[in-house]
Structure 1
Amino acid sequence: MPVELLSQATGYGIIIGLSVAFCIIILGAVEIQKRYLSEESNHSEMFMVANRSVGTGLTASAVFSSWMWINESVFSAAYTYKWGVALPIWWASGLSFQIALMAVLGIVAKLRVPYAHTSMEFMRRRYGSSVHAIFIVLNLVNNIFGCGSMILAGSQLVTGMTGMHVVAACILLPAGVVLYTAVGGLKATFLTDFLHTTIALILLLYFAIAVLSNEHIGGPSGLYDKVKAANDYIPGNYEGSLLSFKSKSAILFGLVLKFGNLALVLMDTAFWQKSFASEVTATVPAYDLVSIVIIAVPWCTGTIIGLAARAIEHTPIWVGYPETLTLTQVNSGLVMPYVLESLLGKGATTGLLVLIFMAITSTVSSSMIAVSSMISLDFYRTYINPHASDRKTLQVSHIGVLCHGAFMAGFAIMLEYAGATNNWSTYFRPIIACPGIIPMMLTILWSRQTKLAAILSPILGLISGVVVWLTLSWYWAGAINITTTQQQVPGLYAAIVSFFSPGLYSVVISLTIKPQRSDWREFLRMELIEEKKSPDSSQAPSIRASKTAFDDGEGVKVVDGDDEKQAAFQVNVPATHIPARLPPSKSSEAKDLDDVVHPFPEETLVLIRKWRKYATIFLIVNILVTIVLWPLPLYRNWIFTKSFFSGWVVMAIIWEFGAFFAVVVYPIYDGRHAIAKAVRGMLAERKKTA
C-alpha cells in the first residue's frame, strides 16, 4: 500500500513557493544585468544565445544542469535498486561521452556556423526548406517527448510523495518556468541553471553522506554487510548479487540509455544553443570539464541510495515495513524518497521535493528557449515574415515560450492517462529521435552529404527502427502494448538500427546518386538578428575582415578586403575569443562565394582549430576510458570485496565534491569581475540616492 511521505499542502507550498521565488530572483538578475552589465534580454541575440559571450564557469554550470535531469539522481537510485552496483557506472558513461562529443560539435559550429541561433538554421542553409521541415519535426518530437516525459516523471514522483493530483503537478511544475524564461531568455536559464546546480549538488552531497553515516547503515563497510545480508537475488547478475559488476540487465539498459541520451542532446537545439552562447575559449574547456564531473551524480547517488534501500527494506526502520517496494513504485522513482524518509525523516524528504523541482525546471526552461527559438526563427522569420524586426522576433519568442509551456503540461497529462511511464519513454525516445543524429552531424562535418541523403536517411532510419522495435516486441511477447514495448532487447536493437542505419543510408545515397561537395563558406551567409539602425546607432557596426582565414576542412583560404576596415575589426574583436557581439554579416549580400568572409580574424580561427583538435582527442580518450577501460574489465565473474567496495564509495563521494567545486565554486571565481562590477554599480547608485 502506498505511503504518503509528505502532505499535499507541503507539495503545493514548495512548488508554488519556489516558482514565485525563482521568478523574483530572475527578474532581479535581469534588471541588474541590464543596469550594470549592459546586458539586455529585450534583444533576440541576448534572448536566444546570450550574445555569445558566456564564460567557461557559467557555461560549465549550465551544461552540468542540463545533463542533471531527475534521471541522473532519483532514477539512477531506482535502477541501482533493481540491478545493483554496475548500473550507476553504465549510466554515468552514457552521460559523459555525449558531453565530450558536444564539445567537438560546439567548436566546429564556431568555425562553420558562427551566426547560428538554432541547429535547424544551418540545416536549412545547406539543404533548403524540405530538409529544414523534416528536422524541425524531428527536433520537436524529440523535445516534446523528452521534456514531456520529464514533467510526467517529476509529477508522478510528487504525487507518490505528497498525494497531490498528478494533473495539478503537471501544470504547476512548468508554470513558474514559463514566467522567468519569457522575461530573461537564455541568459536567465544560465543563471537559474547555476542556482539549480548549486542547490541540487548541496542536497545530493548531504543525502549521500547523511545516509551513509546513518547508524542503520554504518558507513561503506556497514552498507556492504547489510546488502549481502539482505541476500536479494537479481536475475542476470553473477550469482544474483547486487555487488557484482557482471549484470546483464544493467549493461543492456546502459546501452539503450546511451542512444537515448545522444538523441536528447544532439536532436535538441537547446544543447546546441548553449554552445552557440559560449565564448570560443569557453566551449571546449567547459564541456570537457563537465564530461568528467557529471560521472559523480549517478555514481555517488545511485550507489549509496539504491543499495541503502536494499539494506534496510526488510527491517523495521523501513517506512513501508513490512511491505517492500513494488516494481511500479521502483519504475516511478520512489526508491530515493522511501530511503530518505526512513533514515533522515521529513526534512530530507522535503529537500528531495526541492531537488525534483530544480531538475524539472532546469529541463523545462532550456526546452522552452529551444522551441521558442525554432518557432520565431525557423518558422515565423523564415516562412511567415522574413523581414521581421528584432522586436517582432522577440515577441514571437515570448509567445512561443507561453504556448510551449501550456502544450507541455497538456502533453504530460496525456502521457499519464495513456499509461506511459519514464521507463517506457526511456526505450521509446531513442527509436524516434536517433534517426536524425548522424545526418545532422554530417551536415557540419562532411561536405559530401547531399540534400537527397539528408531527406531520405532519417525517414528510412525511423521506419527501420520502428519496424525492428514492434516486430521484436511481438516476436518475444506475442503482443504489442505499453508493457511489451518496454522490453530491453527489442528497445536496444531498435535504437541501434535507428541510430546507425541513417548513417549508412546517407553515405550510400550521397556517393551513388548525384554526388556533390558543399562549400562551407555558404554557412557564412547566415546573419545575426539586428534592428535596422541609422549610421549613428550605438549598435556594433557592420565590419568585414580584409584578410581572414577560413578552414573548409581541406585547407585554409584567405580572402582580401578593405585594410582600413580590417584595422577597425581587429580593434573590436580580440583574437582569443568571440566578441561580446558578433559583427553583423555582410556575407549574405555577396553574390560570389569568393566574396564571403569569416567574421573572426586568422588568429581566432587558428585558436578554434587547436580547440577542435584537443576536443577530438579528449572525446576518443573519454570513450575509451568510460566505456571500455573502466567498466569492461569489471564485467566478470567476481563480487566486490568489502575493501574494494569501501574505496569505490569513498571515491564516488570525492568525485561529487569535485563536481561541486567545478560547477559551483569555479563559476563564481570565473565571473568575479562581472559580479564585482554589478556590486560596485549598485553601491554607487545607492550612494547617489542616499
Structure 2
Amino acid sequence: MNLNIFGIPDTDEKMKLAILLVFLVRNIFASNSSCRLTSLIHEKQSNITPVLEKHEALLLMFLGFGGLSITLGIVHFAVRRYIYRDAHSLDTVFDAGGKVTLGLTAVTVTSQMLWPADFLQSATIMSKYGLGGSLFFAVAIVLDILMFPILSLTLKTRAPGAKTFLQIICARFGKGAHIVFCCIALFSNMITVMALILAAKAAINVLVKDVSDEMILLLLAFLFGSYCLIGGLGTTFYISYFNTALTFVSVLVFIVHVTYKETDNIFTKKENMYEAMKCIHAPDGNYENSFLTFRSRGSVIYGVVLFLMATSLSFCDQAHWQSRIAAKPAQGVAGFFIAAYLWFAIPLTVTITSSTLYMSMSYQNGTHLLSSFDVDSGFITPFVMESVMGKTGAYMLITMITMALMSTGSGEVMAVSSIIVYDIYKVYISPYRKGIDIKKCPLCGKERKHTDDTGNSDQICKCPSVTTCKACENDVMVRLKAQHFMHPYECSVHGRYRRYEDELLHYKNWCMIWVTIGIVPYGLIIVNLGVNLNWAVYTLQGVYSAFLCPLLMTIVWSKCTAKAIITGSIMGVFAYVAGVLIVAELVYEGGLGNFLINTSSDYSLLGGITSAVTMSVSCTIIISLCTHDIKTNQDAERVWDKTLSIDNPLNPWRNVYKEEFASINVSEDTKVNTTHMTKIFRSARILAVVGGLISFVIFGVVIPANVLSLEILTYDQFSSWSFACQIWVMIAATFAIVVPPIEEIVQIVRYYSRNKSNESVSQEKYVLSSK
C-alpha cells in the first residue's frame, strides 16, 4: 500500500507501520456489519507534514502577492489622480470615491466574507455533521449577506455623507455614546484581527516547513498594509477582484483534478466517496446516523448560531460598513445580492469535495488519517489537497488562504484607521472648529443655506460650493501638474480646509503605518497567551450580539436615545456572558471545568446569543420609549437632519447624486430631507425588497426544503447535488473573472472622455475671453 499518498513521509517509519498494521487487521477481521472508524492518533499537536519549503512560500507571498498588491495600489492611485482627479481627497481614501461599480462591489463583498475558516473549518463541520453541516454553514453566511442591501440603502438614505457608522452615533447622540461605541468598534476589530492571526498561523504552519511565529506575523503585517497606504479603500477593491478571481480559479482546478481527471487512486472515484459516506456512522442527531442526509439537528443549531454571529459582526465591524458606503445605492444593492450567490459557491463546493475525499481515504485505509486535533483545527482541506495534488495542492490552498487574509486583513487596517482619523482625531484631538454644531457650515461656522431659518441673513452661510469655485479648480490643476513643490492653496474660502485635509492625509498615512506595525506585537501577545482558535472565533465574537439591536435602532428608529443604546449594549453583554456560562455548566459534561471547549460549543453559544439579543432588544426599546422626545413627524425629521448634515465641504455627498436629484427637480439650494432621499432611491429600494425576498426564499426556503425532503441520499441524488454545486461555482467564476474589469474600464474611459471634453470647453472660453 502506497502510504505517501496520505501525506506520510518515508522517514516516519513508526507511523507507516502503525497504519499498515491497522490496514491489514481491517482487511482480515472487518465485517460488513460495522463501518465505524477509529482514530489512529490522539495527540494535542498536528502530525501533518508540511510540503512547502519556507523560502518557496515566502517568495510567493512577499514577492508574488505583496508585489501584486503594491502594483495595483500604484495603478489605483494613478487612476484617481489623473482620471478622477480626487486623489488629494481624504474621503477618497476611505470610500473609494463613492462610485464603485456593481461588479467590484460584488467581488469585494465576496472577498471580504471569505475567511480562512471557509476553507478550513467548513470541512470540519461537514466531517462532524455530514452534508447538512456544509449546507447550513453556507446558508447562514448567505442570509447575513442578504441583509446588506437594505442596510446599505437605509444608511445612504439617512446619512449619505458618513464614512463610519460611529459618525452617525456622534451626530445623533453626542460624544458620550460616541466614545462608548468607539471602544466597542475597536474591540470588534481587535477580536477579528485576533481570529485572523490565529487562523493564519494554524494554516501556514501546516503548509510550510519550519516557519516561525515572528515570520508569520511579519508576513501578515506586510500583506495587510502593503497597499492600503498607497491607494486606500479603492486599492482594496482592486485587490479584492484579483483575490476573488484567483480563488475561483484555484477552486475550479481542485474540482477538475479530483472529479474529472483520470487517476488510479480509488478514493477519488465518486462511487467510493459515496460508499464511504454511506458506511461511516454519523453522530446522534443525524437522521439514522448518516452523513448522507441534510436532516441534522447539530447542523441547524450551528447554522442559527453562525447566522446571529455573522449578522452581529456585520453591524459592529467598520470594515463591513466601508463596502456599503463605497458604492452608490443601486450598484450596492445589486452588488450585495450577486456577492451572496458568488460566495455561496466557494465554501460549499470546496467543503463537499475535500470532506468526501477525506472520508473516502479514511474508509479505504480503515482508520481516520487525522487526529481529533487536526480535524478540529480545520486541517482536512490541507491534508487532502497535499495528498492528492502534492505541492501543487499546497500552493493552491496557500493562495486561497492568502487571498482571504489579504482582503479581510486590509479591510481591518482601513477600518481601524478610519475610526482613528474620523472619530478620534477629527472629533477629539484636532477638530477644524471646536464645539461647532453639526448642522452648521464647518468653513464659516454659520447656519447652512439649506435651512428653514428666515432670520438674520448675516447668520446664514454664504460660502460658494466647491464645485463652482474657480479658485479651487485652479488649485487642483496646479497641484496635479506639480512634480515636487506643492503650490500653496489660493482659494480664500476652501484653501484653509484643504490644508486641514492635507494634514489629515499625512496623519492617515502614519496611522496606517502604526496600525500595520502594531499587528506584530499584538499577534505575539495572542500567540504567547495560547488563545484557543475556536474560542476566539466563536465565544469572543459572540459578544457582538449584544450590540446588534442598538446599532440597528440607531439607523432605522428616530425615537432611539443615547441612554437606550448604552444600557441595551451593557445589559446585552452581561446577558451573553451569563447565558454562555449557565448553559456550559448545565448541559455539557465537565461544566465550566472544561471551560474553553464547553463555552464555545453550540448550545452554550446559542444560549448566550439569544439571551444577549433578547436583553438588548428589550432594554433599547423600553428605555427609548421612556426617554425620547419625538412627538411629531417634524421632530423625527429633525433627528435625520443631523445625520444628513454629516458632510465634507470639499467633497459634498450631493455631488454624488446630482443626476438623481435632477430627476426629481431638487435644485442645489433646496434643503434635502429623507423624503427626497427616499424618492431618489425608490428604484433601488424596490430592487432591495424584491431581490431580498426572492433570494431569501431561494436560500432560506427552497434549497433547505428540497434537500430536507430527502431522507438519505441515493448515489444518483448525491451525484446530482455535487454536480449542481460544481455548475454553480463555474457560473460564479465566469461572472467574477469577466464582469468587474469590463465595468471598471468602461467607467474609466467615460471619465477620461468627460475630462477631455471639459478641458476643450475651458480652453475655448479662455480663447474667447482673451479676444
Shorter-chain TM-score: what band? Answer: 0.7 to 0.9
2:311 is matched with which residue: 223, 246, 262?
262
Deviations 1:297-326 (A, max 9, x none): 12211111111111112446xxxx976212
The yes-or-no answer on 1:126 pairing with 2:126 is: no
1:43 is matched with which residue: 89, 98, 118?
89
Cα deviation, residue 679, structure 1: 11
Deviations 1:590-615 (A, max 9, x none): xxxxx8535x995x752413322331
Partner Cα distance (1:114, 1:611) in 2: 14
The yes-or-no answer on 1:631 pairing with 2:701 is: no
Deviations 1:423-466 (A, max 9, x none): 22232134311111111111121111122111111111111111
Partner Cα distance (1:347, 1:272) in 2: 36
Partner Cα distance (1:39, 1:410) in 2: 38
Partner Cα distance (2:275, 2:751) in 1: 53
1:89 is matched with which residue: 125, 128, 135?
135
Partner Cα distance (1:577, 1:601) in 2: 15
Kindly provide the amino acid, as one letter, of the partner of residue 646 in structure 2. Answer: M
CA contact (8 A) 2:193 2:412 kept: yes
SS of 2:285's partner is: coil
The yes-or-no answer on 1:482 pairing with 2:529 is: no
The 5-angstrom pairing of residues 10-409 of structure 1 reads 10-34=56-80, 36-163=82-209, 164-214=211-261, 215=263, 216=265, 217-218=267-268, 220-229=270-279, 231-315=280-364, 324-387=369-432, 389-409=500-520
Cα deviation, residue 220, structure 1: 4.2
Partner Cα distance (1:412, 1:496) in 2: 31
Partner Cα distance (1:577, 1:226) in 2: 64
Partner Cα distance (1:677, 1:613) in 2: 28
Deviations 1:496-523 (A, max 9, x none): 2223321221111111345536431221
Kindly provide the amino acid, as one letter, of the partner of residue 403 in structure 2. Answer: M
RMSD: 2.8
1:504 is matched with which residue: 592, 614, 618?
618
SS of 2:226's partner is: helix
Partner Cα distance (1:242, 1:166) in 2: 37
Aligned length: 626
CA contact (8 A) 2:81 2:88 kept: no
CA contact (8 A) 1:76 1:88 kept: yes
Kindly provide the amino acid, as one letter, of the partner of residue 256 in structure 1. Answer: V
CA contact (8 A) 1:39 1:46 kept: no
Match of 1:642 in 2: 715
The 5-angstrom pairing of residues 519-598 of structure 1 reads 519-528=639-648, 530=650, 573-575=658-660, 596-598=671-673
Kindly provide the amino acid, as one letter, of the partner of residue 575 in structure 1. Answer: E
Match of 1:431 in 2: 542
Q: 1:414 to 1:611 in 2, by over 3 A?
A: same
Deviations 1:641-671 (A, max 9, x none): 1111111111111111222133321112222
CA contact (8 A) 2:559 2:624 kept: yes
Q: 1:393 to 1:611 in 2, by over 3 A?
A: same
Cα deviation, residue 290, structure 1: 1.4
Q: 1:529 to 1:311 in 2, by over 3 A?
A: farther
Q: 1:640 to 1:575 in 2, by over 3 A?
A: same
Q: Which 5+ residue runs of structure 1 have no aligned equivalent?
A: 531-539, 545-568, 587-594, 682-690
Partner Cα distance (1:576, 1:203) in 2: 44
Kindly provide the amino acid, as one letter, of the partner of residue 228 in structure 1. Answer: K
Partner Cα distance (2:390, 2:504) in 1: 49
Match of 1:651 in 2: 724
Partner Cα distance (1:166, 1:636) in 2: 48
Q: 1:576 to 1:57 in 2, by over 3 A?
A: farther
CA contact (8 A) 1:149 1:425 kept: yes
CA contact (8 A) 2:268 2:357 kept: no
Match of 1:613 in 2: 686
Partner Cα distance (2:524, 2:388) in 1: 33
Q: Which moved more, 1:351-360 or 1:402-411?
A: 402-411
Kindly provide the amino acid, as one letter, of the partner of residue 18 in structure 1. Answer: G
CA contact (8 A) 1:212 1:223 kept: no
Partner Cα distance (1:433, 1:509) in 2: 20
Partner Cα distance (1:512, 1:634) in 2: 47
CA contact (8 A) 2:563 2:624 kept: yes
SS of 2:731's partner is: helix
Partner Cα distance (1:357, 1:298) in 2: 15
Q: 1:637 to 1:62 in 2, by over 3 A?
A: closer
SS of 1:295's partner is: helix
Percent identity, aligned pairs only? 22
Deviations 1:98-142 (A, max 9, x none): 222111011111111010001110011111111111211221111
CA contact (8 A) 1:19 1:177 kept: no
Cα deviation, residue 633, structure 1: 5.6
Q: Which structure 1 residue ranges, 4+ long, deviate > 6 Å from structure 2?
A: 677-681
Match of 2:19 in 1: none
CA contact (8 A) 1:83 1:247 kept: yes
Cα deviation, residue 208, structure 1: 2.0
Q: Which moved more, 1:213-222 or 1:404-413?
A: 213-222
Partner Cα distance (2:253, 2:326) in 1: 32
Larger-gyration structure (1/2): 2
CA contact (8 A) 2:66 2:226 kept: no
Cα deviation, residue 543, structure 1: 10
Partner Cα distance (1:679, 1:110) in 2: 27
Q: 1:261 to 1:680 in 2, by over 3 A?
A: same
Q: 1:412 to 1:223 in 2, by over 3 A?
A: same
TM-score (norm 2): 0.76
The yes-or-no answer on 1:472 pairing with 2:583 is: yes
Kindly provide the amino acid, as one letter, of the partner of residue 251 in structure 2. Answer: L
Cα deviation, residue 281, structure 1: 2.3
Match of 1:449 in 2: 560
CA contact (8 A) 2:286 2:293 kept: yes
Partner Cα distance (1:513, 1:675) in 2: 50
SS of 1:508's partner is: helix
Q: Which 5+ residue runs of structure 2 have no aligned equivalent?
A: 1-46, 433-496, 755-771
Q: Which moved more, 1:500-509 or 1:57-66?
A: 500-509
CA contact (8 A) 1:89 1:299 kept: yes
CA contact (8 A) 1:84 1:307 kept: no
TM-score (norm 1): 0.85
Kindly provide the amino acid, as one letter, of the partner of residue 623 in structure 1. Answer: F
Cα deviation, residue 328, structure 1: 1.6
CA contact (8 A) 1:19 1:175 kept: no
Match of 1:566 in 2: none
Match of 2:454 in 1: none
Cα deviation, residue 356, structure 1: 1.1
Partner Cα distance (2:140, 2:156) in 1: 25
Q: 1:379 to 1:243 in 2, by over 3 A?
A: same
Kindly provide the amino acid, as one letter, of the partner of residue 431 in structure 1. Answer: G
Q: 1:219 to 1:577 in 2, by over 3 A?
A: farther
